[in-house]
Amino acid sequence: MQISLSDMKPLARSLTGFNGSSEMVLGTILLRVHAQGVTKTIKFSVVDVRTPYNAILGTPWIHAMKAIPSTYHQCAKLLGNDGRVITLRGDQAAAGDLLIAEEEIFEIIIDEHDPSKTVRVGTYLSDETKDQIIAFMKENISTFAWSTNDMKGIDPNITTHELNVDPTFKPVRQKRRKLGPK
């Protein structure tokens, strides 16, 4: 984004990404965000990770702009400086590419004699990190439980899941939701 980080204030906390990974925040920085003629200064958390986007405009920006977001329509409505309602539209092609990028994972077979012992690795990891994970998994293959059968002596209640449902309640059938092919 070609921004000088000299104004960044150090901050020690972590953020959880969309992929579930936890990243340490390097600090926070105040940046002016200009959207359709409306400019607000917003505090951003800075992390050092590879992503397909430069910034995420979250609830602080939504509240500052008094915007009404719609993830379904991939847009946000807000009032312009002149009082008119402005619609900011998302880039659907870019959002689709992002979803495809998140799904780009591949499986690595750790044990050549047992193809069920595989690890799913995301493409967002560097080759060096992938190699380190594979080496670690191969070195410690006997440590990992690849199925519940591998956990001898452990109570099955730890690996099973039950729903605490009142049998006197009638099940609710929800309306079918159609999803696009992508």
List, for residues 2-53, the tens digit of each pLDDT value: 677 777 888 888 887 766 778 888 888 888 887 777 788 888 888 877 665 6
Q: 36 Cβ partners below 8 Å, 6+ apart?
A: 78, 80, 86, 88
Q: 69 Cβ partners below 8 Å, 6+ apart?
A: 62, 75, 76
Helix (H, G, I), strand (E, B) or coil at 33: strand
Return the closest-CA partner of residue 23 out of 56, 1, 65.
Answer: 56
pLDDT given at position 121 = 64
If 0-12 CB within 10 Å is exposed, 13-18 middle and 19+ buried, where does residue 177 land?
exposed
**Cβ neighbours, 10 Å, residue 61:** 19
The full set of domain ranges for the chain reads 5-96, 104-151
- Report, as ranges of residue numbers, the positions in the chain whose pLDDT lies below 50: 100, 102-103
pLDDT given at position 93 = 62
146/136 Cα distance (integer angstroms): 15
pLDDT given at position 95 = 55
Return the closest-CA partner of residue 26 out of 6, 43, 10.
Answer: 10
Q: What sections of the chain are H helices per DSSP? A: 59-65, 92-103, 127-139
pLDDT given at position 32 = 83
